[in-house]
Structure 1
Amino acid sequence: MTGEPLAPKPVSAVTRHVMQANKSKNTKPELKVRAALREAGLSGYRLHWKKAPGKPDICFPGRRVAIFVNGCFWHRCPHCGLSMPKSNVEFWEAKFARNRARDARDNALLVSGGWTVITIWECRLKKGRFDATMRELVREIRRAEELRAQGLRSGRLVEIGSAPAWRVRRERHRRRGRRG
């Protein structure tokens, strides 16, 4: 044994065909978000704008706002606690690691360029959470616009629908048996 990593097993033709059928643009979650933005009077966005790093799903170039609507499975949602596929585990681990690394790189490039980067997880667009998620999204877009109007050009990263950092820390302490 030479210690070299094993190459992932080749994917069957059927699996490859099924995987290629997954859409990367104009998904149902994206369409729902775009409809809500239009309803809120926030039009004038670009779709998959190639001039912005990572080609955000929805992009407001004038406001310098980039919105990524992430699928929970492909981008490994921190809220869902999804399990790893049981077969070809090495392939999936590498695939998900590449996706997360690409997301982090694109976010960093946008933030360093003065963009407000907003991530919305697919699970936050479900029936019971959709309205609150959209209210938060609209509020963040308008906030980004206000900050730019005030001359503040620094970028920031926003995850819609996530708990505030203080709440996450309190939960983590509670799970470890400490008081929050």
Structure 2
Amino acid sequence: MASSWASSANSRAVMRANRGRDTRPEKALRSAVHALGFRYRVSIRPIKGVRRTADLVFTKQKVAVFLDGCFWHGCHEHYRPATGPTSEFWNNKIAGNRRRDADTDQRLQQAGWEVIRVWEHEEPSQAARRITERVQAKRADSRGAT
């Protein structure tokens, strides 16, 4: 077996178990948005050719929603920097994720998209209301512009 960047077999197993989509917070948010009567696309790239996948996408309104995990995206409320022998790796990883998130937001905004970021600790029903209010506003803007 080829050597892994993971520090141990246990670390490797934990990393492989992390889901890329359909996590419990994602399902709860999608359910709350759906319950408000809104339909969306799931896990698509809003901009072709840019390898960034949004969790919920309202294509007509050009609204991209990202549900960010507190650890993986460095939530200011819950994230605690790693300590110990692997701290440099993890701190660099989270800093890189933050840079990529900012770059993603900028690219989408330059392409005319609105970006909404939701933290995994947010109450799904409140986040769903925030999302649907923006989608409704974009719908109203597009009707008024015709």
TM-score (norm 1): 0.70
| Partner residue, 2:97 | 99
Unaligned runs of 5+ in 2: none
Shift of 1:89: 0.9
Aligned to 2:38: 42
Deviating above 4 A after TM superposition, structure 1's stretches of 4 or more consecutive aligned residues are none
Is 2:80 the partner of 1:86?
no
Deviation at 1:147, TM superposition (A): 2.6
Identity of aligned residues (%): 32
TM-score by length of 2: 0.85
How many corresponding residue pairs? 138
Q: 1:17 aligns with which of 7, 13, 17?
A: 13
In 1, Cα distance between equivalents of 2:44 and 2:125: 26
Corresponding residue number in structure 2 for 1:61: 59
In the aligned structure 2, how far is the partner of 1:150 from the partner of 1:13? Answer: 57
Runs of 5+ unmatched residues, structure 1: 1-8, 152-180
Which residue does the alignment assign to 1:164? none
Mapped to 2, the partners of 1:62 and 1:134 lie a distance apart of 18
Task: Work out which of the residue numbers 109, 124, 145 in structure 2 matches 1:111.
Answer: 109
Indicate the structure (1 or 2) with the bigger Cα radius of gyration.
1
In 2, are the aligned partners of 1:36 and 1:134 still within 8 Å (CA)?
Answer: yes
How large is the Cα RMSD of the aligned pairs? 1.9
The equivalent residue for 2:141 is: 147
Counterpart of 1:26 (choices 22, 28, 34) is: 22
Distance 1:148 1:11, change over 3 A: farther
Inter-partner Cα distance in structure 2 for 1:124 and 1:56: 17
Contact 1:116 1:144 in 2 (8 A): no
Q: Is the 8 A contact 2:46 2:57 kept in 1?
A: no
Deviation at 1:137, TM superposition (A): 2.1
